[in-house]
């Protein structure tokens, strides 16, 4: 299941800022001709037989030819014809939208945009990076020649629709860096080119966006959207966007075992399971996000403990949901690297980002970084970060990598259950590679405070400072932005508050109330 209560953890996909006269739509059709021959190849039939699936059903019947012909009468030129959805995609003007809606065999239109952006970029200079690339100091990796070269990354996701034609992934396909792919939702697509071209739901772009956040680059515009631009990939599709059932978790486990058999050491999975299943009886309860109740968390822990795999997982997007709020599974597994999301300006928790449950005996999420569009995109950013470190030192174990990434984060060692240890910084990670024993004392300090108010001088700070009020060392009561006055910050202690973290980005101060 893709988190954000399925529809929400997909990306909050936005329209391009460029204005076009036409927009792309899915056009859903009324019915099919049951007398038509199913469009199933002998190889596909054999594959389905081996999988114990029905040999064919209505979804294998072709879209009615006369519907396609009638669409042409309003100058609608289908780009993709999907027998599975009984729909076509096409670029339509506003006038054409009205004409197509009026056709008696059209049941509905759904707008979409084939030009998704991981984040907005600036055109103010020739060479730019998306904001998260600036936040994590991507330039430091570039200067060190670290691009994920020689590193193989597994991506387990919901679909990789149109990945080969994405401007951000063209360089990946030009050098044949996709080693192999598998579709666990519809295994019949494994042996065909339709892995990238057959749309089944509106989740099918999700893996394409995730890959862009791991390794995306637009050579023509000289922009970077991911860190691991020279990595190679194994891809697995395990999640279907229109049906939520526990069988998708079985797909996930199968994909993990497949990638392990290939020797993959780094896997990104921007999927999470909590609630929102088609059958409500399948929903988890918050207290089950304990790292060992779900099958996939157990599998993730095996991957971490027994297979040496670094599994990078989106924490979830339920932070604003009062009935849930906490991370989903498998982000709850102790051995995985769980990634939350921060806002761009203050680096504290962005509202939707899921919180680590207080009943866990360990910290979750582990780290976080900026993402407007869900933790689905913050996790792949950190996957690229890990790939660069693996290139720099291939002998690092998965546990050493997690420790290194945590120690490079801007709040370390004062992590919390809102954003973990904060935003990993490339400059600190590179310094730790050179000297693993390097202390974080340069960037952190503790101060003692008494009473209900405390004032601290911060001569180098900006006017507005991010503050975390905590009931203990890691559990946040509230976060807020506090205004500096005359170079001083005055803290007001809240009832039950034991610690306060002052986040200055380049320094962290831990106030311990006595």
CATH code (residue 507): 2.60.40
Of the pLDDT bands very low, low, confident and very high (cuts 50, 70, 90), residue 448 is: very high
Asked if the model's pLDDT at residue 76 lies above 50, the reply is: yes
Q: What is the CATH number of the domain that holds 353?
A: 3.40.50.200
Q: Which residues contact 8 (CB under 8 A, 6 or more apart)?
A: 317, 352, 374
Asked whether residue 236 is domain-assigned, the answer is: yes
What value does the mean pLDDT take over residues 12-32? 58
Token pair for residue 62? 């072709």
In tens, the pLDDT along 202-258 reads: 678 899 999 999 999 988 888 889 999 999 999 999 876 554 545 567 788 888 888
Is residue 342 included in any domain, yes or no? yes
Is 84's pLDDT higher than 50? no
In this structure, is residue 235 part of a structural domain?
yes
Pairing assessment for the beta strands 152-157 and 266-269 based on DSSP bridges: parallel
* ∠ Cα 401 407 412 (to 5°): 150
Q: Which residues contact 52 (CB under 8 A, 6 or more apart)?
A: none
Domain assignment present for 12: no
Are residue 104 and residue 145 in the same domain, yes or no?
no
Q: Is residue 117 part of a domain?
A: no
Q: The tokens of 320 are what? A: 């604003």
Give 464's strand partners. 483
Q: Mark which of 435, 456, 480 sits at the end of a domain.
A: 435
255 with 387, same domain: the answer is yes
The DSSP code for 75 is T
- Distance of alpha carbon 420 from alpha carbon 407, whole angstroms: 11
457 in the same domain as 402: no
pLDDT band with cut points at 50, 70 and 90 for residue 186: confident
DSSP annotation of 273: B
Residue whose C-alpha is closest to residue 376's, from 118, 11, 21: 11
Query: CB 146: neighbour CB atoms within 10 A?
Result: 26
Residue ending a domain, choose from 435, 470, 495: 435
CATH of the domain at 48: 3.30.70.80
Give the Cβ contact number of residue 472 at 10 Å: 13
> Considering the domain boundaries, does residue 10 fall inside one?
no
Amino acid 116: pLDDT: 26
- For the chain, what is the domain count? 3
pLDDT value of position 247 = 53
Domain that holds residue 354: 134-435
- Same domain as 505, residue 421: no
Q: Over range 157-169, report the average pLDDT.
A: 92
State residue 47's pLDDT score: 34
Please tell me whether residues 420 and 286 are part of one structural domain. Answer: yes
Provide the CB-side half-sphere exposure for 423 (13 A, CA).
30
Indicate whether 272 belongs to any domain. Answer: yes
Token look-up 């526990």 returns: 246
Q: Are 509 and 502 contacting, i.e. CB atoms less than 8 angstroms apart?
A: yes
306 and 259 co-located in one domain? yes
Same domain, 329 and 426: yes
* Whether the Cβ atoms of residue 210 and residue 377 lie closer than 8 Å to each other: yes
Q: Are residues 332 and 235 in the same domain?
A: yes
- Asked whether residue 374 falls in the same domain as residue 406, the answer is yes
Stretch 459-465: mean pLDDT, rounded? 74
CA–CA separation, 154 vs 108, rounded Å?
A: 36
Instruction: Choose the final residue of a domain: 377, 404, 435.
Output: 435
At 156 the pLDDT is: 94
β-partners of residue 467 are 480, 502
pTM reported for the whole predicted model: 0.75
pLDDT single digits (tens) 387-444: 999 999 999 999 999 999 999 999 999 999 999 999 999 999 999 999 887 766 789 9
Task: Say if residue 476 is in the same domain as residue 393.
Answer: no
pLDDT band for 121, please (50, 70, 90 cuts).
Answer: very low
Do the domain assignments include residue 332? yes
Q: Are residues 333 and 311 in the same domain?
A: yes
Shared domain for 205 and 257, answered yes or no, is yes
């Amino acid at each position: 299941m893709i988190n954000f209560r399925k529809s929400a953890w997909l990306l909050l996909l936005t329209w391009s800022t460029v204005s076009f006269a036409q927009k792309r739509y899915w056009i859903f059709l009324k019915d099919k001709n049951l007398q038509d021959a199913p469009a199933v190849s002998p190889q596909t039939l054999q594959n389905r037989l081996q999988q114990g699936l029905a040999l064919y059903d209505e979804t294998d019947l072709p879209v009615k030819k006369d519907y396609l012909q009638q669409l042409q009468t309003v100058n609608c030129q289908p780009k993709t014809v999907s027998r599975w959805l009984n729909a076509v995609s096409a670029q339509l003007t506003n006038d054409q939208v009205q004409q197509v809606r009026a056709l008696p065999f059209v049941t509905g239109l759904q707008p979409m945009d084939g030009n998704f952006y991981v984040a907005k970029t600036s055109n103010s200079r020739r060479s730019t990076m998306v904001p998260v690339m600036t936040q994590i100091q991507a330039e430091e990796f570039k200067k060190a020649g670290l691009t994920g070269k020689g590193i193989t990354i597994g991506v387990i996701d919901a679909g990789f629709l149109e990945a080969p034609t994405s401007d951000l992934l063209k360089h990946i396909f030009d050098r044949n860096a996709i080693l192999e792919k598998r579709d666990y939702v519809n295994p019949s697509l494994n042996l065909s080119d339709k892995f990238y071209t057959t749309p089944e739901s509106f989740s099918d772009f999700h893996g394409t966006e995730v890959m862009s956040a791991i390794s995306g680059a637009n050579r023509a515009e000289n922009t970077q959207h991911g860190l691991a631009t020279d990595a190679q990939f194994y891809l697995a599709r395990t999640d279907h966007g229109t049906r939520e059932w526990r069988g998708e978790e079985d797909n996930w486990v199968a994909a993990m075992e497949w990638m392990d058999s290939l020797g993959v050491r780094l896997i990104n999975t921007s999927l999470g399971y909590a609630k929102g299943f088609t059958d409500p009886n399948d929903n988890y309860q918050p207290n089950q996000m304990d790292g060992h109740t779900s099958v996939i968390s157990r599998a993730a822990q095996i991957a971490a403990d027994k297979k040496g795999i670094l599994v990078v997982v989106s924490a979830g997007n339920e932070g604003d949901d009062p009935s849930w709020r906490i991370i989903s599974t498998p982000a709850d597994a102790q051995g995985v690297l769980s990634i939350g999301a921060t806002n761009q300006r203050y680096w504290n928790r962005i509202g939707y980002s899921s919180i680590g449950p207080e009943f866990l005996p360990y910290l979750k999420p582990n780290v976080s970084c900026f993402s407007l569009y869900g933790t689905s995109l913050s996790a792949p950013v950190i996957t690229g970060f890990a790939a660069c470190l693996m290139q720099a030192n291939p002998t690092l174990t998965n546990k050493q990598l997690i420790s290194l990434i945590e120690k490079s984060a801007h709040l370390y060692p004062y992590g919390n259950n809102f954003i973990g240890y904060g935003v990993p910084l490339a400059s600190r990670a590179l310094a730790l590679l050179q000297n693993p024993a390097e202390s974080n004392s340069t960037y952190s300090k503790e101060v003692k405070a008494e009473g209900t108010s405390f004032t601290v001088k911060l001569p180098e700070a900006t006017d507005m400072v991010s503050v975390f009020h905590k009931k203990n060392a890691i559990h946040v009561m509230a976060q807020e932005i506090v205004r500096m006055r005359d170079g001083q910050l005055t803290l007001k202690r809240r009832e039950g508050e034991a610690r306060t973290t002052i986040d200055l980005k380049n320094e962290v101060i831990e106030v311990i109330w006595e």
